[in-house]
Amino acid sequence: MDDDRPDVLLTGLLFYDLVLTGLGKPPTPGEEVWTAGMGCGPGGIANLAVAAARFGLRTSLATVFGDDFYGEYCRDVLDDQEGVDLSLSRTADGWPTPVTVAIAHAGDRALVTHGQEPPYSQDALVGDPPEARTALVHIEAEPRAWLAKAAANGTQIYADVGWDPTQQWSTGLLDQLSLCHAFLPNETEAMAYTRTDSAVAALGTLSELVPVVVVTRGGAGAVAVDQTTGEYADVPALDIDVVDATGAGDVFGAGFVAASLGGWPLAERLRFAALAAGLSVRRHGGALAAPGWYGVERWWRTLKDPELRRAYGFLADRIPAYVGPPVHHAPVTPPARH
Question: For every one of its 338 residues, what pLDDT tens digit does the chain have, with 9 covering 90 and above?
Answer: 567 899 999 999 999 999 898 888 888 899 998 988 899 999 999 999 999 999 999 999 999 999 999 999 999 999 999 999 999 999 999 999 999 998 887 767 788 999 999 999 999 999 999 999 999 999 988 899 999 999 999 999 999 998 888 889 999 999 999 999 999 999 999 999 999 999 999 999 999 999 999 999 988 899 999 999 999 999 999 888 878 777 889 999 999 999 999 999 999 999 999 999 999 988 887 899 999 999 999 999 999 999 999 999 999 999 999 999 999 998 888 776 64
* AA identity, residue 65: F
Cα–Cα distances in Å, from 294 out to 74, 80, 275, 326, 327? Answer: 22, 18, 13, 6, 7
pLDDT computed for residue 1 by the predictor: 55
For residue 165, what pLDDT is reported?
A: 83
How many CA atoms are closer than 13 Å to the CA of 266, on its beta-carbon side? 20
pTM of the model: 0.93
**Cα–Cα distance between 14 and 118 in angstroms, integer?**
10
pLDDT the model gives residue 234: 97
Task: Tell me which residue of 194, 217, 218 sits closest to 207, measured CA to CA.
Answer: 194
Chain Cα centroid distance, residue 70: 21
| 8 A C-beta contact, residue 7 and residue 260 | no
Report the alpha-carbon distance of residue 3 to residue 5 in Å, rounded. 6
Say if residues 14 and 97 touch (Cβ distance below 8 Å).
yes
Residue ranges and CATH numbers for the domains of the chain are: 8-318 (3.40.1190.20)
Closest CA to 132 of 173, 92, 87, 175: 87
Q: How far is CA 269 from CA 44, 87, 260, 265, in A?
A: 24, 30, 6, 6
The closest of 215, 287, 198, 271 to 238, measured between CA atoms, is 271
Q: Give pLDDT, residue 56.
A: 96
**CA angle, 228 then 234 then 237, to 5°:** 130
Rounded to an integer, what distance in angstroms lies between the CA atom of residue 257 and that of residue 272? 10
Please tell me the predicted confidence (pLDDT) of residue 337: 60
Task: Classify burial at 250, counting beta carbons within 10 Å of its beta carbon; exposed 0-12, middle 13-18, buried 19 or more.
Answer: buried
* Predicted pLDDT of residue 2: 65
Confidence (pLDDT) at 90: 98
Residues with Cβ within 8 Å of 223's Cβ and at least 6 positions away in sequence, in order, are 199, 200, 203, 214, 215, 217, 232, 233, 234
